[in-house]
Each structure stands twice: as C-alpha cells, then as structure tokens.
Amino acid sequence: QVRLVQSRGGSVQAGGSLRLSCSASGINFRLYTMNWHREAPGKQRELVASISSAHDKNYTDAVAGRFTISRDNVRNTVYLQMDNLKPEDTAVYYCQTRSRGFDFWGQGTQVTVSS
C-alpha cells in the first residue's frame, strides 16, 4: 500500500523557518516525482513545489527563493525547507505523489505564521 506520512508542522513568527518532511512507502521512491501542496483558509489547494526523479525542482512564484524542496532517496523522504516565512504562508501543507494513475496524499500538517 502506498503511504505518505508527514511530520508535524509548527507555529513561527514572520521571518522564521520550518522544515517539513514526508516519508513514503509502497513505491519505488527514487522513480517518483514528489510534490508539496498547501491549502490556506478559504482558498483552494495549490501546488507549492515539486521535485522529479532527476532532482529537477519547481516552485510556485509565491514561495520561490524562500522555500527549498529536496529528497533523500535512501530514507524515502521528501523535505520542504521554508525560510523567511510570511503570514500568508499559513496553511495546511500536504505531500503528494501519483502512482498507477492515482494520487496519494499525506495526512496534512498545519503551518501557522504570525506577525
């Protein structure tokens, strides 16, 4: 079974940093593109960052330059390093991947940034 398990999020003041992790099982992890999404209050879920099997990275403009996605294929884990956080980054963050035509999601973790 495909399973994605996320670390806890946290609460920080504006300008602070957090690191999220997502550990995957049930897939040959190194071959999969991994993604991070977020859902802010009252807003639709949006794709934040992705990393391919070749370690190519993409970010939405809102986080580019502040967030860094990375992966550890030995630990089967994808990370999202979030620096210089802003209140508008407050959201529930989800890791996600696709396998055999189906999307699989982590359980979600709350990130709260206060001013």
pLDDT band (50, 70, 90) for residue 22: very high
Average pLDDT, the chain: 97
How many Cα atoms occupy the beta-carbon half-sphere of 38 within 13 Å?
Answer: 22
Over residues 6-32, mean pLDDT? 96
Sign of dihedral through CA atoms 72, 112, 44, 107?
positive
pLDDT one-digit tens code per residue, 52-64: 999 999 999 999 9
Look at residue 81 and give its three-state secondary structure.
Answer: strand
- The CA distance from 57 to 53, in Å, is 10
pLDDT (tens digit per residue) in 82-115: 999 999 999 999 999 999 999 999 999 999 999 9
